[in-house]
């Protein structure tokens, strides 16, 4: 099964598959993808420092 999740930052507001983060309900797959993105983002920032 292949799932595409788009995470965008538009003017400081994050969207996941065109759903505004914190305002619209995310599906379970979108939540999993967002959590993985956050983990990778934190890890890449720690390595850069």
Give dist(CA 16, CA 26) in Å, integer.
8
Residue from 9, 2, 1 nearest 34 by CA = 9
Would you list the domain boundaries of the chain? 24-48
Q: What is the DSSP string of 10-40?
A: ETTEEEETTEETTTSPPPHHHHHHHHHHHHH
Give the pTM. 0.78
Give dist(CA 5, CA 15) in Å, integer.
10
pLDDT of residue 21: 95
pLDDT higher than threshold 90 for residue 9: yes
The pLDDT tens digits for 26-38 are: 999 999 999 999 9
The pLDDT tens digits for 14-27 are: 999 999 999 999 99
């Amino acid at each position: 099964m292949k799932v595409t999740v788009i995470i965008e930052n538009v003017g400081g507001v994050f969207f996941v598959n065109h759903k505004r983060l914190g305002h619209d309900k995310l599906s379970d797959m979108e939540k999993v993808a967002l959590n993985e993105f956050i983990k990778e983002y934190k890890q890449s920032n720690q390595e850069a420092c």
